[in-house]
Structure 1
């Protein structure tokens, strides 16, 4: 029998296969029972969705099940970014949110992301309880439902639109007056929830804006709604072809991830953006605290931290761990190589909208392109080149993978292993500061291989050695 399993950002599945109305109702009932068990049902839950196919329908069915359990649903009127949902949880003091999103996954996917009352992605102990409850109910009609009109009459359904309050909060955290002097900014919402969030604050501050893919399309133009170099060539060409454009900013399907295009059309890796913003926030904004990065994120962040005498906190992959540190007010900025970040005093969730605006502010106030800023930083702390590669395993290699991790060699590419980190997967720090990370996927026969070195040539040798070890 199919079982519900929550990953790093919720439960995701393919529409009409495992992601069905029946399974959605079961998971919703499990969340309702969890919220009731921890004594927070009277706070209500926000119900939201992104631009994926049938998002509103799934959300309405969820509101009916919540009403059947006596839990009020604050129902978002339109598709809503994940960071905005997080902000609204905290603003309302809600018990959490059920958000229908599969983030940057291909269009055939949808998902449920549950965020508890502290506003960040649910931690494993929370999702584990929800999983257990849901799997015990699978195959049974165990949920309770109430018609939406009856729910509204009973005070168990209220429509909301959190956009204005969220954008008002951004006004306190972004120097839009500085961005106004930047010049033309290109904006790409990738057919997702960033529409009206990325463009309108800029135009309200008289910034010249060029937009692309700003209408809703559940097929996302035929690509996954991920603002990575592979999927936004049309946007790169737009920036490259218009000399007036100073910066290109993009968000993914639910606007929790960011993509940055420099004025010459160069795609800037998220790893570098996290380090640049850390340096900017400390040096220019005078922010204080530690910095957090996932185990898979560039050590350029560490080099910047050393420059400023700042503590680095290394977390497992999954933004929930960074979000928890934000909620504890311990860090200036937290980020992941997969294009997620947030800052001190903001939501404990990835926010691609804020990330884009902070980069625009940085470029405007520093008076340099992103590439020039990165070159300057390299001159101060050294060069870092990163790469990630997915390696598919044969059944034989997958069966022996766990044992192989305990037989790792003492060197890679002629460099001795100086330190082994097991925060998440197996990470080998080499004698020259280069490193490799092996992380096995929990859902498919794939090992994610991450690497970093001080040059492209050294990185190629290190990655080749890591791949040979996995496949050997």
Structure 2
């Protein structure tokens, strides 16, 4: 039996290999035991799933195990976005939720994500406890199942669809009347849980929606359900070739990540959207507080924060840390370069639906394309260009990596190192304001190299210097 290991967003595995019903039942029982130990089991647990293979089946099995443990289950009746489940935790004041999702991973994956009563991703102390409990029970019949019929009769099962309460709340945070000025929007839910969550409220407010990939497909069209430039070329072509479309917005498989395509078909990096929205939320919507960003996220965010005189909180990678800042009401917006963000007064979880709609509101309010808004921001705070490179390690390089990363070079690409930050990985700040970050993947022989500079030439030079530092 493979060991159960929770990563930054839960336990993920390949269907029919390690992600099988028996393991799911064990992990569910471990979650049930963790919640009982916390004293919150009486509040019940939401069980949801995304649009992957067997989502409903895994959710029903989890519901049987939870009911067998005497915990009430609120079972979603359709595939449900991760941020909507987070919202429902807070709305119902449950002990948390079990969500069957592998987010933007390829279709052969599924996963279990546990969110506690805070509504955000579980912190490491919680996931480590669940891991320990699950691995101690592996190979044993450690759970008792209850049929869904009996659970319902005993008051331990309630079927729910949290869509409309979430959309009603969203309407308080997004100005749909302003968005309607755009006339037309292109929408791409990437066959995932975002189906209807963008199109329905937009159409209700008079926006014409041009939509693709809006049916459920567990294969996600043959690509990972990630709204990155590489995987949404069909959507980029749609926006580029239709002059009536000023903006395209897209969500990933579980709708917690966002993708934005400008009217000319240009894909806009999430880093830039986070910075633009920070400026917009302060300048136009008059929100107050700081900003949270992961260590891998653009310092364009810092430049905007400095412009407005607000503090920056740098966190390790993993939205759980930004979620904590939201729960503590410290920040206006929190974001990660991997296309996750949320805002003050919203859920402490990534919300791709909210991000897309706020981007549309910003474009409509300003009356300018995203690229123009970005150039205007650059004129105020300076230019920041970002790049991420995956460096695949041979077995020899992987063995040598721990020693190699201990070295602190005096410069990269001819620019002296000013500071080393080890919040998560090794981040080298250079004297000209550029930087590099090296983070080793926890699941594959890959080093993720993040770079930022003020020009394409400097950015490319940093990327080459960073790769040379790792591979020699």
List per-residue Cα deviations over 1:312-345 (Å, max 9, x = no partner): 0000000000001001111000000000000000
Distance of 1:183 and 1:218 partners within structure 2: 32
Instruction: Give the Cα separation in 2 of the matches to 1:408 and 1:465.
Output: 13
Q: Which residue number corresponds to residue 306 of structure 1?
A: 306
* TM alignment of 1:36-47, pairs within 5 A: 36-47=36-47
Residue 135 of structure 2 aligns with which residue? 135
Q: How big is the shift at 1:392?
A: 0.8
Match of 1:11 in 2: 11
Q: Deviations over 1:391-433 (max 9, x none)?
A: 1111111111111111131111001100100000000000101
Structure-2 residue corresponding to 1:194:
194
Q: How big is each residue's C-alpha offset from its partner over 1:341-390, in whole Å with a ceiling of 9 and x where there is no partner? A: 00000000000000000000000011111000000000110111100011
1:290-318 superposed Cα distances (whole Å, 9 cap, x missing partner): 00000000000000001001100000000
CA–CA distance in structure 1, aligned partners of residues 407 and 187 of structure 2: 48
TM norm structure 2: 1.00
Partner of 1:245: 245
Match of 1:179 in 2: 179
Q: 2:13 is paired with a residue of what secondary structure?
A: strand
Structure 1 residues 202-236: Cα deviation after superposition (integer angstroms, max 9, x where no partner): 00000111000000000000000000000000000
Partner of 1:63: 63
After superposition, the CA RMSD in angstroms is: 0.5
Distance in 2 of aligned mates of 1:410 and 1:45: 52
Q: Please name the residue that 2:51 is paired with.
A: 51
Aligned partner of residue 173 in structure 1, secondary structure: coil
Whole-Å Cα distance in 2 between the matches of residues 385 and 82 of structure 1? 30
1:233 and 1:463 map into 2 onto residues whose CA distance is: 25
Which runs of no fewer than 5 residues in structure 1 stay unpaired?
none
The residue number in structure 1 matching 2:123 is: 123
Q: How do 1:252-331 residues align onto structure 2 when only pairs under 5 Å count?
A: 252-331=252-331
Shift of 1:183: 1.9
Shift of 1:250: 0.2
1:419-430 matches, within 5 Å, as 419-430=419-430
| Counterpart for residue 79 of structure 2 | 79
Match of 1:154 in 2: 154
Q: In the alignment, which residue of structure 1 is the partner of 2:394?
A: 394
| Secondary structure at 2:231 match in 1 | coil
Alignment correspondent of 1:407: 407
Q: 3-state SS of the aligned residue for 1:217?
A: coil
SS of corresponding position for 2:172: helix
Matched, 1:441 2:419: no
1:102 matched to which residue of 2?
Answer: 102
What is the rounded CA distance, in whole Å, between the counterparts of 1:408 and 1:308 in structure 2? 34
Q: TM-score, normalised by structure 1?
A: 1.00
Which whole-Å CA distance do the structure 2 matches of 1:336 and 1:407 have between them?
27
Provide the secondary structure at the position in 2 that maps to 1:338. coil
Secondary structure at the aligned position of 1:259 is classed as strand
Partner residue in 2 for 1:332: 332
- In the alignment, the residues of structure 2 paired with residue 400 and residue 323 of structure 1 have an alpha-carbon distance, to the nearest angstrom, of 35
Aligned partner of 2:364 in structure 1 is 364
Distance 1:444 1:227 in 2: 22
Give the Cα separation in 2 of the matches to 1:328 and 1:144.
Answer: 38
- Secondary structure at the aligned position of 2:7 is classed as coil
Describe the SS at the equivalent of 1:468: helix
**In 1: Cα distance, 2:411 partner to 2:321 partner:** 30
Matched, 1:22 2:22: yes
1:127-181 Cα offsets, whole Å, 9 max, x none, are 0000000000111111111011011111111000100100000110000000111
In the other structure, the counterpart of 1:230 is 230
In the alignment, the residues of structure 2 paired with residue 450 and residue 139 of structure 1 have an alpha-carbon distance, to the nearest angstrom, of 41
Q: Aligned ranges for residues 345-356 of structure 1 at < 5 Å?
A: 345-356=345-356
- Measured in 1, the distance between the counterparts of 2:110 and 2:2 equals 16
- Counterpart CA distance in 2 for 1:307 and 1:453 is 19
Displacement of 1:185 in angstroms is 0.2
In the alignment of these two chains, the number of paired residues is 472
Q: Could you tell me how far apart the structure 2 residues matched to 1:185 and 1:164 are?
A: 21
Alpha-carbon distance in structure 2 between the residues aligned to 1:349 and 1:358: 16
Structure 2: runs of 5+ lacking an equivalent: none
CA distance in 1, matches of 2:441, 2:367: 42
Structure 2 equivalent of residue 88 of structure 1: 88
| In structure 2, distance between residues paired with 1:207 and 1:394 | 51
Structure 1 counterpart of 2:452? 452
